[in-house]
Amino acid sequence: MIYLAAPYSSRSQETMSQRVHQAGQAAFSLLKGGHDVFCPIVHGHYIEQAAAAHLDAERWYEHSLSMLSRAYELWVLLLTGWESSRGIAMEVAFARKRSKPVLLLTYEQALRGERPAARRPVNGSGGLRPVS
């Protein structure tokens, strides 16, 4: 399974809704392209919507990391705000600690159902950037 990370939290409800929509489109296109993908943003958002209730962020982090522990790769969807996302930083650190590959995926690549190109860490700091 591929764990598809995407930014979610924002002060703007509109931004959060747009991120869920884009992550859902990306996950669908990747599934259609033959990739077995789990996207916690889409999963959690619609669970809470169906239940008309919310879990605290800590419980969602626990659940997400449980799912990430089962994945063989972490793909980071490069939506606006991904570089400053605390959730993505946590997921990347968790994956790296377990020697799971971390790849960066543009929204356009995702919509085409493509696998991301190889990526690498920057200055060993845990930051990411596309390979030039």
Cβ atoms of 35 and 2 within 8 Å: the answer is: yes
On whether the CB atoms of residues 116 and 103 are closer than 8 A, the answer is yes
pLDDT truncated to tens, each residue of the chain (132 aa)? 999 999 988 788 898 899 999 999 999 999 999 999 999 988 876 676 667 777 777 887 888 898 899 999 999 999 999 999 999 999 999 999 999 999 999 999 999 999 987 655 433 335 555 543
Question: Can you give the pLDDT at residue 62?
Answer: 87
Three-class SS state of 102: strand
Which pLDDT score, from 0 to 100, does residue 125 have?
A: 35
Whose CA is closest to 4, among 83, 61, 49, 68?
A: 68
- What is the structure's pLDDT at 59? 81
Non-local CB neighbours of 107 within 8 Å, separated by 6+ positions: 22, 26, 77, 78, 79
Local structure of 48: helix, strand or coil: helix
In b/e form, how buried is each residue of 74-98, taking b as 16+ CB within 10 angstroms? Answer: bbbbbbeebeebebbbebbebbeee
In this prediction, residue 129 carries a pLDDT of 56
